[in-house]
């Protein structure tokens, strides 16, 4: 069983600051064509998975209504989960809910992607088709207000770093390489992955999804983790990012 998980529960305050009208759920925001959305592109790439899990929260009813309208060909594959703590918890709880739903179906592999990303399909397929665990990177500058940092320390272990306050980043150990994470991950070891969940303390559950991801991938890199660099990658944080994405996409990118 191959399962795809994405999380779209957040309030997207930076995105909504730019909107002239009422707040919107950025993953389903569009201006002309209802298929010009982050979620439509993302799930279209994932439609060959056996199951798709979408964890929502903010404007959840809008998410359900939109999805029923546009995902007519494979709507039966999609399972929507409501995160009631989307206002007060970080992204860890959304991923935790998605993984708990996935576990019910005894998966062999899970691919998780953040729900506000635009990336090229060719690179995505490389992650999907990996026979091992996979992590992703991109060529964007590393910026403290938006980047998830992935670095490899002297022990050749994978580490992640993110500042939820969007202010500054600090690495307190020597490292041999540093990257801007592509925020897409493939998990192949279900025993290791699901073994992490009951060990999470309440503070970790209220934190970011890196509480789970960092623990899973903090193993010697060696040959057991495939690293895929996305040729095209944009994190849709603002309305300007949305316009950059669809202007680029409509022009053949």
Distance CA 110, CA 99 (A): 9
pLDDT value of position 248: 58
Residue 226 backbone class (left: φ over 0; alpha: ψ -120 to 50; beta: rest): beta
Split into its structural domains, the chain has a count of: 1
Q: What is the pLDDT of residue 166?
A: 73
CATH number assigned to the domain comprising residue 117: 3.90.550.10
Residue-level pLDDT at 20: 85
pLDDT given at position 221: 67
- Tokens at residue 114, please? 């953040």
Domain that holds residue 33: 2-250
Mean pLDDT in each 10-residue stretch from start to end of the chain (253 residues)? 97 89 94 94 96 98 96 93 96 98 97 97 96 95 91 91 85 94 97 96 96 91 83 93 78 51
Q: What is the pTM of this model?
A: 0.94
Across-strand partners of 102? none
What pLDDT is attached to residue 246? 80
CA dihedral 221, 204, 88, 37 (to 10 degrees): 20
- Residue 159 confidence (pLDDT): 93
């Amino acid at each position: 069983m191959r399962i795809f998980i994405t999380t779209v529960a957040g309030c997207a305050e930076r995105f909504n600051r730019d909107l002239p009208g009422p707040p919107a759920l950025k993953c389903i925001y569009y201006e002309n064509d209802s298929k010009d959305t982050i979620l439509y592109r993302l799930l279209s790439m994932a439609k060959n998975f056996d199951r798709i899990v979408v964890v929502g929260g903010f404007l959840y009813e809008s998410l359900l209504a939109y999805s029923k309208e546009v995902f007519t060909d494979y709507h039966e594959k999609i399972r929507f989960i409501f995160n009631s703590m989307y206002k007060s918890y970080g992204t860890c709880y959304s991923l935790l809910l998605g993984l708990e739903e996935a576990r019910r179906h005894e998966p062999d592999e899970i691919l998780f992607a953040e729900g506000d990303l635009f990336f090229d399909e060719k690179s995505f397929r490389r992650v999907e088709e990996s026979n091992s665990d996979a992590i992703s990177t991109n060529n964007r500058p590393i910026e403290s207000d938006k980047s998830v940092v992935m670095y490899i320390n002297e022990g050749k272990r994978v580490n992640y770093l993110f500042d939820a306050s969007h202010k500054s980043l600090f690495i307190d150990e020597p490292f041999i390489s540093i990257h801007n994470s592509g925020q897409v991950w493939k998990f192949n070891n279900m025993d290791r992955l699901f073994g992490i969940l009951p060990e999470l303390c309440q503070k970790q559950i209220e934190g970011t999804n890196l509480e789970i991801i960092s623990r899973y991938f903090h193993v010697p890199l060696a040959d057991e983790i495939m690293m895929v660099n996305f040729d095209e990658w944009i994190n849709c944080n603002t309305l300007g990012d949305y316009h950059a994405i669809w202007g680029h996409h409509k022009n053949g990118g």
